[in-house]
Structure 1
Amino acid sequence: MIEAHTRAWWRATLALCLGSFTVFVNLYAAQPLLPDLRQAFDVSTLASAMVMGVSTLTLAISLLIYGPLSDAIGRGAIMRITLLLSALCSLLLPLVPNFASLLVLRAVQGLVLGGLPAVAIAWMGDEFDRRALMLAVGLYISANTLGGIGGRVLGGFAGEYGGWQASFVTVGIVSLACLIVFWRLLPPARNFKPVSLRLDVALGGMAAHLRNPLLLGAYLIGGLNFFIFINQYSYITFRLSDAPYSLATQWLGMIFVTYLGGTLGSALSGRAAQRWSQPVCMMLGIVIFLLGSLVTLNPALPLILLGLTVNAFGFFLCHSMASSWVGRQARVARGTASALYLVFYYLGASLGGLYLEPFWQDAGWPGVVVASWLVLGLTLGTAAWLWRRERRLTAPG
């Protein structure tokens, strides 16, 4: 097994972080463009938000395929091929003739974007020892946040000066460059043990994971937190593009620099987990997320940005803990277990807009914050239940 801070650990961790960055650059480049796409194609707020929702939905569906497939044939080839296809999709998006075609191609892109997230943590679980895994997962999720920032900033600036089409071209070119480096850095797997690819075995593994309350609790926490977090960002772009803020596309892209709070939160998660139990760290992250949402109610733009930064710190702290918790608790079919976590995660992202839309229409941003608190209260209770369950399982006797 690869130990933390060795040359092999750094090489593999850097490769997976770069792959993660590439995935999320492609996924989130469209988010600061939503107001522009709404105008360009003359569609509603909810319809334009589906440019994000449809890709996260198909990404979630694809994870049900990649997880069991990776347990049978390995993880490396899946990550390399799907990264290539996702970059090609970004290069094709500017050529779509209408909004329906845009949604279809974003759906296809979501299907291929799922390849790396579905198997990266399972790859780490196969190759890294426990300490190396926990530290690597924190850095890997930090790269998720940097990819989210990079995609939105690139998308926003390119969109401001070249239109929404230029955003996707820029992201596609950057993705191809990252793929070349990823391909050279990722070392061959040494400890992967294939299992036969049988539908009944795959479904049985999924069912077993879903019956495990320690895994199911983490799945719900990850899915419901992302249900709120990512869609808050979609609605904040509509809030800040309207009066009195009237931010241009490039500045809407810059608000996602607040994701740096998440980069810090996930990077610190490994150290936090060495001091406190993972469910306690999850609860801490959710409480921080709740407080950050309150701060965004202030009409001052600097305080809105501060609140979003606090949200990102809390969300990614919790997400890092929940992800590594799944890697620890799954004893068999780790690829399937990690994929199921991400199924819940991205289903939450794709459905959150439908939940928040009525609150937005009735009460604007304060309505979004109230809706957020309702869901985050549920995930906080779930994390507390995991903590109590863990204490009972580890108690003497």
Structure 2
Amino acid sequence: MTVEAPVWTGHVRGSADYRRLLGALFCAGVATFAQLYSPQALLPLIARDLNTGAAASALLVSTSTIGLALGVIGWSTLADRIGRVRAMSYSVCVATGLGLLVPFAPTFQLLLSGRFLEGLALGGVPAIAVAYLTEEIEEGHAARAAGTYVAGTTIGGLLGRLVAAPVAEFTDWRWGMFAVGLLCSAATLGFMRLAPEPRGFVPADDAAEGSLWQRLSANLRNPAQLVLYLQGFLLMGGFVAMYNFLGFRLSAAPFGLPQTVVSLVFVAYLAGTWASAWAGAAASRYGRRPVLLGGVAVMIVGVAITLSDNLIAILAGLLIATAGFFAAHAIASGWTGRMAVVGKAQASSLYNLAYYAGSSVIGWFGGMAFDAAGWPAVATTILILEVIAGLVAATMLRD
């Protein structure tokens, strides 16, 4: 008599492999997001050194996120063939190698080209992480685990900024970015040592799920998925614009804060760390839609508060907006993979494509607004985008 193998239902919360998987994704998040956004803390220094405006210096962030956005579909396809862990390992290794070299590019054009390639390589982590997590974690704990993963990415983004700025203050911005590359090298090794071998992964079967185009188009024909992609585009775009250009405001009159002090505003990311983990747990209890809408509303309130001329109020607004953004993002990013009937990796990749396209486009456009009319123009732009995101989500999404 043939005994059928038990159906894999995922690692149970609290098990050793559950903790290893989240630890591995934490390391991957550090290796990815520390180097992706490390120039953000250095933009005023870069603008002065290279004699560029706010919008031009912000291209160091936008070109890498454009590369990441363009890379996610390819990485998700590779992961469907060779496995999630192998593809993510290739991604972080190549990106970290570039991250150690790119800061020393001799011209601005080569610097931008290198940052684009770095982003292209980094696309493997956000393209694959949620699909890997969804396949390997027991379904009842998937939303909580996704929130924990997003919380880990906030720590990566925070570390990159906090490491880069003090090093740059005492040397220059190139060495600041290089120091972040060293941090990412250690995180890459951590991911490769911790990641459990996939047990829920099944290589792509075109006969069962269709070709790549069929998997992509199945998700693009889903109106609810399109709404989630729009959330990623608008929310991330507004969030990156806020962090790109608030530093310019705080380093100029009447505040005149030194760059190392300005970099400490990124400690507000810890609000996102808490909010991401909280949102995942809250979604399991209250449903995804209420938590997503609540996150958008909180972000709107926070951005509005930053219009104040009081430094304490500005920092409080930044904390509130950060918490709201990460709560909404944790829900939207995890929801895409869960909603997909076919092509879960492609569903997550399309979300990331929209998410980083918003970072690139709106993150750059915010600089145009800042150069033209200062912080009020940036904040107003963000508020309009987030109101649109909230109205569309309230109208089109159902749990």
TM-score normalized by the length of structure 2 = 0.94
Does the aligned pair in 1 maintain the 2:28–2:188 contact within 8 Å? Answer: yes
Question: Structure 1 vs Structure 2: percent identity of aligned residues?
Answer: 33
Does the aligned pair in 2 maintain the 1:154–1:253 contact within 8 Å? Answer: no
| Closer/same/farther in 2, CA of residues 103 and 362 from structure 1, 3 Å limit | closer
> Aligned residue for 2:118?
109
What amino acid does structure 2 have at the position aligned with 1:159? Answer: A
Question: Which of 184, 203, 211 is 2:213 aligned to?
Answer: 203
Does the aligned pair in 2 maintain the 1:49–1:234 contact within 8 Å? Answer: yes
> Aligned residue for 2:147?
138
After superposition, give the CA deviation of every residue in 1:304-353 in whole Å (9 maximum; x if it has no partner). 11111101100000001101111210122111111111000000000003
Indicate yes or no: 2:50 matched with 1:50: no
After superposition, give the CA deviation of every residue in 1:91-117 in whole Å (9 maximum; x if it has no partner). 112321111111011011000111111
> Aligned residue for 2:345?
335
1:167-206 alignment to 2 at 5 Å? Answer: 167-196=176-205, 201-206=211-216
Secondary structure in 2 aligned to 1:136?
helix
> Aligned residue for 1:33?
42
Provide the rounded CA distance (Å) in 1 between the counterparts of 2:261 and 2:345.
Answer: 39
Indicate yes or no: 2:257 matched with 1:247: yes
Does the aligned pair in 2 maintain the 1:71–1:336 contact within 8 Å? Answer: no
Does the aligned pair in 1 maintain the 2:26–2:153 contact within 8 Å? Answer: yes
> Aligned residue for 1:304?
314
Provide the rounded CA distance (Å) in 2 between the counterparts of 1:197 and 1:82.
Answer: 24
Provide the rounded CA distance (Å) in 1 between the counterparts of 2:262 and 2:120.
Answer: 27
Provide the rounded CA distance (Å) in 2 between the counterparts of 1:48 and 1:361.
Answer: 12
Secondary structure in 1 aligned to 2:309?
coil
Secondary structure in 1 aligned to 2:167?
helix
Question: Which of 108, 120, 124 is 1:99 aligned to?
Answer: 108
The worse-fitting range, judged by mean Cα deviation, of 4-13 and 342-351 is 4-13
Provide the rounded CA distance (Å) in 1 between the counterparts of 2:113 and 2:333.
Answer: 30
Does the aligned pair in 2 maintain the 1:280–1:383 contact within 8 Å? Answer: no
Provide the rounded CA distance (Å) in 2 between the counterparts of 1:130 and 1:326.
Answer: 14
Question: Which of 286, 290, 297 is 1:287 aligned to?
Answer: 297
Does the aligned pair in 2 maintain the 1:53–1:351 contact within 8 Å? Answer: yes
Task: List runs of 5+ in structure 1 lacking aligned partners.
Answer: 391-397
Q: Using the TM superposition, give the Cα deviation of residue 131 of structure 1 relative to its aligned residue in structure 2, in angstroms.
A: 2.1
Indicate yes or no: 2:25 matched with 1:16: yes
Q: Using the TM superposition, give the Cα deviation of residue 369 of structure 1 relative to its aligned residue in structure 2, in angstroms.
A: 1.6
1:115-130 alignment to 2 at 5 Å? Answer: 115-130=124-139
Does the aligned pair in 2 maintain the 1:83–1:112 contact within 8 Å? Answer: yes
Provide the rounded CA distance (Å) in 1 between the counterparts of 2:206 and 2:139.
Answer: 27
Provide the rounded CA distance (Å) in 2 between the counterparts of 1:67 and 1:61.
Answer: 11
Does the aligned pair in 2 maintain the 1:46–1:357 contact within 8 Å? Answer: yes
The worse-fitting range, judged by mean Cα deviation, of 118-127 and 237-246 is 237-246
Q: Using the TM superposition, give the Cα deviation of residue 354 of structure 1 relative to its aligned residue in structure 2, in angstroms.
A: 4.1
> Aligned residue for 2:3?
none
Count of residues paired in the alignment: 389
Does the aligned pair in 1 maintain the 2:232–2:351 contact within 8 Å? Answer: yes
Provide the rounded CA distance (Å) in 1 between the counterparts of 2:375 and 2:76.
Answer: 37
Task: List runs of 5+ in structure 2 lacking aligned partners.
Answer: 1-9
What amino acid does structure 1 have at the position aligned with 2:356? Answer: Y
| Closer/same/farther in 2, CA of residues 218 and 31 from structure 1, 3 Å limit | same
Secondary structure in 1 aligned to 2:341?
coil
> Aligned residue for 1:224?
234
Provide the rounded CA distance (Å) in 2 between the counterparts of 1:327 and 1:268.
Answer: 19
> Aligned residue for 1:275?
285
> Aligned residue for 1:71?
80
After superposition, give the CA deviation of every residue in 1:111-167 in whole Å (9 maximum; x if it has no partner). 011111110110011111212211111111001111111111111111111111211
Provide the rounded CA distance (Å) in 1 between the counterparts of 2:100 and 2:275.
Answer: 32
Does the aligned pair in 2 maintain the 1:4–1:135 contact within 8 Å? Answer: no
Provide the rounded CA distance (Å) in 2 between the counterparts of 1:203 and 1:326.
Answer: 17
> Aligned residue for 2:157?
148
Regions of 4+ moved over 3 Å: none
Question: Which of 76, 89, 94 is 1:80 aligned to?
Answer: 89
Q: CA RMSD in A?
A: 1.6
Indicate yes or no: 2:360 matched with 1:350: yes
Q: Using the TM superposition, give the Cα deviation of residue 358 of structure 1 relative to its aligned residue in structure 2, in angstroms.
A: 4.3
